[in-house]
Structures are given as structure tokens and as C-alpha cells.
């Protein structure tokens, strides 16, 4: 401390004599104000939220649906908000953070979005809730999640659905979703919520189509079996 004071006492007269006492005071005051502003900048916290469905909820042929923990790209485990710069550069926010890891927030938002689109709503199990037998478990791998400073969010995923307790895939798909929003961190959270809702809608529509296809196939097999049975009975009667 004494060494710092002695150095300041040594250089300050020289700076004052070279630039003028007033200029040195103004420069020092500006530096102090800048450091004070940086030190008092509050940290803002953001989360993802589910969005209301625009269409009537649909019924699925599964007793329950759940979203498994989401596999995120490297670098997205941090709590600080990030956005893409160039193809090889990522910017990290200093005073904007997620309230939880982004993968956790994305999983809960997608599950809540699916619950708003499936009837009954309780068929969708949120993280931590128990699953009934033969429930459909959705596994999502995020391949790209690129918020840009322009406000655009690009979400590219691969997903698959498996029956609880079984390894065979009953349905799978891929999606790339691009959503534009406000070019600020609060806007990034809102835009990412919209991207999550769009993904949930696509998964629900795909599962519903798979259920319809399965029921039509089962009905066709039933009609075919009845037809063969009638033919057999007719032949037996004719004999």
C-alpha cells in the first residue's frame, strides 16, 4: 500500500504539470464514475415460459407422455446468456443469466407446451412426476441452438419417442426452427420460448398422426381377420 501511494505521489505532479491540473482531475473523476457504474450494474435473470396453444388439444393413444432430460451442445451448461457472433465466436453476457441450466428450462417449457396441446392435460408428466406403464418418453438432442444479436433464434433438434421400459423407437423426427424476436436478452428468452412451443407442437402432431396410423392399421387387420373368418365359415357351410 505504501509503495502504491509513493508511486502515485511521484507520478501525479508530473501528470499535472504535463497535462494540466484540471485535465487530470477530470480524467480521474471519469475513471471513478466508470468503475462505479460497472460495479453497480444489476444482474438480470431470465427463464423460459410455456405459450398457450392456438388450437384445441388432441388425444393421444398413450396413457402418458414425458420429456426426458435434453442433450445440449457443449458450452450451454453455463448459466450466463450467450449469443452467436461469427461462425467461431460466442459472446457471453456479463449481467444476464438463466435461473437454471438452459437444458433444464427447455425441458420444462417443452413439457408444459405439450400439456397445453394434449387432452387430458394431466397425461403429460412434468419433470419429477411418476410415469404410468407404456407411457411415451420423448428424447431430444439439440444439435444447434444459436441466438443471434439480431434477435433471431435457430433451434435444430433430433427427437425420438420410446415406450416406457422399451428400447424400440415408436416415432422419431428432426426439426429446424427459426424464430425472430427483439435484439436484447429479454427478447432472446421470449424468442426461445416461442421456438420451444413450436417444437412441442410438431412433436404432438407427429405423435397424433402415428396414433391415427396405428389405429387405422389395427382396424384394417381386424376387418381382414373378420373377412377371412366369414370366407372360412362360408366354405365350411358349402362343403
CB 122 within 8 A of CB 132: no
Tell me: pLDDT of 193 over 90: yes
What percent of the chain is modeled with pLDDT above 70?
Answer: 69
- Give the per-residue pLDDT at 117: 95
- Give the per-residue pLDDT at 228: 53
Tell me: pLDDT of 6 over 90: no
CA distances from 196 to 139, 146, 160, 191 (A): 14, 13, 16, 9
Query: What is the average pLDDT value for the chain, to the nearest integer?
Result: 78
Lowest mean pLDDT among 142-151, 164-173, 201-210: 142-151
Mean pLDDT comparison of 17-21, 53-57, 146-150, highest-scoring range: 53-57
- Give the per-residue pLDDT at 20: 52
Q: Where are the alpha helices (DSSP H) in 44-184?
A: 102-115
pLDDT, mean of residues 148-158: 87
Tell me the per-residue pLDDT of 81-131, one tens digit each, with 9 for 90 and over.
Answer: 887 766 677 778 888 899 999 999 999 999 999 999 999 988 999 888 998
Tell me: pLDDT of 155 over 70: yes
- Give the per-residue pLDDT at 142: 96
- Give the per-residue pLDDT at 115: 95
Q: How far apart are the first and last CA of the chain?
A: 115
* Cα separation, 79 vs 97, whole angstroms: 5
pLDDT, mean of residues 146-157: 85
CA 216 to chain centre: 34
Q: What single-letter DSSP state applies at residue 102?
A: H
Q: What single-letter DSSP state applies at residue 42?
A: P
Tell me the per-residue pLDDT of 12-53, one tens digit each, with 9 for 90 and over.
Answer: 444 445 545 445 444 445 554 444 445 578 999 999 999 999
Burial (CB count within 10 angstroms: exposed 0-12, middle 13-18, buried 19+), residue 123:
buried
* Helix, strand, coil percentages, rounded to 5, for the chain: 45, 25, 30
* Cα separation, 27 vs 222, whole angstroms: 87
User: 185 or 226: whose pLDDT is higher?
Assistant: 185
Question: Could you name the CATH architecture of 44-220?
Answer: 3-Layer(aba) Sandwich (3.40)
* Cα separation, 62 vs 125, whole angstroms: 12
Predicted model pTM? 0.72
Q: Residue 237, Cβ neighbours under 10 Å: how many?
A: 7
Domain ranges of the chain: 44-220
Tell me: pLDDT of 55 over 80: yes
**What's the chain's length in residues?**
239
Amino acid at each position: 500500500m505504501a509503495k502504491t501511494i509513493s508511486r502515485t505521489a511521484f507520478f501525479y505532479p508530473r501528470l499535472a504539470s504535463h497535462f494540466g491540473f484540471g485535465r487530470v482531475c477530470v480524467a480521474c473523476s471519469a475513471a471513478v464514475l466508470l468503475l462505479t457504474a460497472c460495479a453497480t450494474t444489476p444482474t438480470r435473470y431470465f427463464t423460459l415460459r410455456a405459450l398457450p396453444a392456438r388450437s384445441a388439444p388432441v388425444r393421444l393413444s398413450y396413457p402418458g407422455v414425458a420429456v426426458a432430460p435434453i442433450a445440449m451442445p457443449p458450452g450451454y451448461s453455463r448459466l450466463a446468456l450467450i449469443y452467436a457472433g461469427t461462425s467461431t465466436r460466442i459472446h457471453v453476457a456479463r449481467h444476464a443469466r438463466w435461473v437454471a441450466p438452459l437444458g433444464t428450462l427447455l425441458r420444462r417449457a417443452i413439457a408444459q407446451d405439450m400439456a397445453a396441446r394434449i387432452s387430458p392435460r394431466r397425461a403429460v408428466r412434468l419433470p419429477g412426476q411418476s410415469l404410468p406403464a407404456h407411457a411415451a418418453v420423448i428424447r431430444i438432442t439439440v444439435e444447434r441452438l444459436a441466438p443471434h444479436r439480431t434477435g433471431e433464434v435457430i433451434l435444430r433438434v433430433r427427437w425420438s419417442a420410446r415406450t416406457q421400459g422399451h428400447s424400440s423407437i415408436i416415432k422419431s423426427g428432426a426439426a429446424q426452427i427459426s424464430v425472430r424476436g427483439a435484439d436484447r436478452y429479454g427478447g432472446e428468452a421470449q424468442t426461445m420460448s416461442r421456438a420451444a412451443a413450436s417444437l412441442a407442437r410438431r412433436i404432438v402432431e407427429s405423435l397424433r398422426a402415428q396414433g391415427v396410423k396405428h389405429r387405422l392399421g389395427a382396424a384394417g387387420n381386424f376387418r381382414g381377420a373378420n373377412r377371412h373368418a366369414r370366407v372360412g365359415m362360408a366354405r365350411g357351410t358349402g362343403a
